[in-house]
Amino acid sequence: MSDLIKSSAFMALGTLLSRITGLIRGLLTVAVLGTALLGDTYNVGNTTPNIIYNLLIGGALTAVFVPQIVRSFRDSDGGSAFVSKLVSLIGTLIFVVTALAMIAAPLLVSLYAPTFEGRAREITLAFTLYCLPQILFYGLFGILGQVTNAKERFGPMMWSPIANNLAVILLFGYFLTVVDDLSIGAITDQQVLILGVGTTLGIAIQSLLLIPYIKGSGLTLKLRFDWRNSGLGKSLRLGSWTLLSVLASQIGFLITVNLATRSGLSALNSGIEYGAGYTPYANAYLIL
């Protein structure tokens, strides 16, 4: 019982610190980019990979693959073959999805921020392209995290997002100290590059931190492309039903972001420079 209490307290502490560092991250983001149009360009670009990942892969990882992973631990190799095939399959899928998303980036910007024009659209597109590789790392974090959970090692998935938050806090903290004022007209392409790639590196750190725990769990992971008769087809078919429910929620989110970006630009054109748009909505949602 004492071990259970300690484990629960450890996970709860990780969740709490993740929320606190996430809040600090959000505050610094607002301090650097503001709550008007520039903040919206960043948030649209940074949110897009999360949306695509959850829509196509994220829901299936938790709803379908975890039971399959747990069952594979009864295999003679302790599940190494099945998990290797699963990680290889998910990795291949998310690589293809990421590549297609980057090709379709202009269309994605038009979907989520249809009223952005000129420099605002250019910056949004740049942030989107720099952030879309996050899909790869979200997928890696998702599948490796479910493996550690299946091994009843819940701490790593709770604590690794803190590293992501800290990396982005350092990034925006640096900008806050060296840049006097950022706006749509003042931000440079190099600054957009640093902010976009730096944010993606935070997700990469969060994901890669799980690898040592996978190795420590006794699993031996290798690239495996012999997916035939491995049971993965059944998992993917079951996951397709999860996709339908996630699709419905993401359509609602698409409408929300679309309306929020429209309202932000409309407010700016009316002389209201803060308090309206997608960034205030995202911050309010974070606090709730």
Percent of the chain with pLDDT over 90: 33
- What HEC string does 117-150 produce? CHHHHHHHHHHHHHHCCHHHHHHHHHHHHHHHHH
pLDDT number for residue 71 = 81
pLDDT number for residue 62 = 59
**Band (239; pLDDT cuts 50, 70, 90):** low
Least confident of 1-5, 46-50, 116-120, 139-143: 1-5
Average pLDDT over residues 179-205: 91
Average pLDDT over residues 252-264: 79
Residue type (1 letter), 67: P
Residue in 285, 282, 279, 283 with CA at minimum distance from that of residue 37 = 279
Residue 81 has pLDDT above 80, yes or no: yes
- Give the helix, strand, coil percentages of the chain, each rounded to 5: 80, 0, 20
- Alpha carbons 241 and 27: distance in angstroms, whole number: 38
Residue 275 has pLDDT above 70, yes or no: no
pLDDT number for residue 241 = 61
First and final CA of the chain: distance in angstroms?
Answer: 33
DSSP state of 179: -
Token pair, residue 3, equals: 């071990």
Residue 33 has pLDDT above 80, yes or no: yes
- Alpha carbons 86 and 69: distance in angstroms, whole number: 9
**Band (75; pLDDT cuts 50, 70, 90):** confident
- Alpha carbons 148 and 62: distance in angstroms, whole number: 12
Pair 123, 192: CB distance under 8 Å: yes
- Alpha carbons 146 and 67: distance in angstroms, whole number: 10
Pair 221, 211: CB distance under 8 Å: no
Average pLDDT over residues 72-85: 82
Residue 48 has pLDDT above 60, yes or no: yes
- Alpha carbons 173 and 63: distance in angstroms, whole number: 37
pLDDT number for residue 128 = 97
269 three-state secondary structure = helix
**Could you tell me which residues come within 8 angstroms of residue 147 by beta carbon, excluding any fewer than 6 positions away?**
69, 83, 87, 214, 217, 219
pLDDT number for residue 125 = 96
**Band (2; pLDDT cuts 50, 70, 90):** low
pLDDT number for residue 29 = 92
47 three-state secondary structure = helix
- Alpha carbons 52 and 177: distance in angstroms, whole number: 33
**Band (180; pLDDT cuts 50, 70, 90):** confident
pLDDT number for residue 63 = 59
Token pair, residue 9, equals: 């307290």
pLDDT number for residue 233 = 65
**Could you tell me which residues come within 8 angstroms of residue 21 by beta carbon, excluding any fewer than 6 positions away?**
162, 165, 166, 169
**Could you tell me which residues come within 8 angstroms of residue 144 by beta carbon, excluding any fewer than 6 positions away?**
87, 207, 210, 211, 214
**Band (181; pLDDT cuts 50, 70, 90):** confident
Residue 147 has pLDDT above 80, yes or no: yes
Question: Could you tell me the residue ranges of all domains in the chain?
Answer: 2-287
The strand ranges marked E within the chain are none
For the ranges 14-23, 112-121, 195-204, 246-255, the one whose mean pLDDT is highest:
195-204
What are the residue ranges of helices labelled H in 54-188? 59-60, 66-72, 80-103, 105-112, 118-131, 134-150, 155-178
For the ranges 3-17, 37-51, 64-78, 273-287, the one whose mean pLDDT is highest:
37-51
pLDDT number for residue 123 = 96
Radius of gyration in angstroms for the set of CA atoms belonging to the chain, rounded to a whole number: 20
- Alpha carbons 244 and 85: distance in angstroms, whole number: 25
